[in-house]
């Protein structure tokens, strides 16, 4: 028995360093196929065209309020600039406003990124809004009244198929 124990100890002491140096053979799955930037942009266009951003926003420390934005269409222009055709409804007015808005990419995630962007009759805003799957979340700030700002979040839903509203104005560009 003593000889068996001694033999076992010799084997363990001899083989242990060799086993410690040998990397473990673990089956590693192949890397997932990453979508190209063109694929990401096509998916963003499809998700945001004929979409409604339905959610909530905050104004300072006040309780959240419901909010709704209708996006008629989205298409890439050049570099980070995208043309958003947004439907705006105020009382009896129903117009589609073309807006040129920068969209940045954080990996596979588009971020609507406006800094002091002016909209005629609507004011000037700074915002960062992240889109992921069928959700959005971000921050916003009114550049004229610095006390007006907060957070916004919600879900992206399909809008009922409609034609763009009449009364379209010229695209708004950052100056």
Cross-strand pairs, 52: 70, 157
Residue with tokens 């909010």: 67
Coil/strand/helix, residue 87: strand
The predicted-structure confidence for 34-71, as pLDDT tens digits, reads as follows 899 999 999 999 999 999 999 999 998 899 999 999 99
Is 174 within the bounds of a domain? no
CA dist 85 and 129 (Å) reads 17
Is 4 within the bounds of a domain? no
Residue 47 to residues 38, 61, 110, 121, 166: CA-CA distances in angstroms? 14, 31, 11, 28, 23
For residue 81, what is the domain's CATH number? 2.40.128
The token duo for 90 is 């105020």
Please check whether residue 57 is in contact with residue 67, taking contact to mean a CB–CB distance below 8 angstroms.
Answer: yes
Is 14 within the bounds of a domain? no
Confidence (pLDDT) at 25: 63
Confidence (pLDDT) at 162: 54
CA dist 128 and 111 (Å) reads 6
The token duo for 108 is 């596979």
Q: How many residues appear in the chain?
A: 175
Cross-strand pairs, 129: 112, 138
Which range marks the domain in which residue 140 is found? 37-158
Domain count of the fold of the chain = 1
In percent, how much of the chain has pLDDT > 70?
73
pLDDT surpassing 60 at residue 86 = yes
Phi, psi of 148 (to 5 degrees): -95, 115
This model's pTM is above 0.75: no
pLDDT surpassing 90 at residue 8 = no
């Amino acid at each position: 028995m003593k000889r068996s124990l001694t033999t076992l100890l010799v084997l363990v002491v001899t083989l242990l360093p060799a086993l410690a140096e040998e990397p473990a053979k673990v089956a590693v799955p192949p890397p997932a196929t990453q979508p190209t930037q063109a694929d990401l942009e096509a998916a963003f266009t499809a998700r945001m065209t004929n979409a409604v951003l339905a959610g909530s926003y905050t104004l300072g420390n006040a309780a959240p309020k419901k909010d709704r934005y209708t996006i008629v269409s989205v298409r890439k222009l050049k570099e980070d600039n995208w043309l958003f055709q947004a439907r705006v409804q105020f009382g009896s007015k129903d117009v589609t406003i073309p807006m040129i808005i920068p969209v940045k990419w954080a990996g596979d995630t588009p971020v609507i990124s406006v800094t002091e962007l002016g909209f005629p009759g609507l004011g000037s805003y700074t915002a960062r809004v992240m889109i992921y799957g069928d959700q959005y979340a971000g921050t916003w700030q009114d550049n004229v009244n610095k006390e007006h700002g907060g957070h916004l979040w919600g879900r992206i839903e399909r809008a009922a198929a409609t034609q763009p509203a009449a009364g379209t104005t010229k695209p708004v560009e950052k100056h």
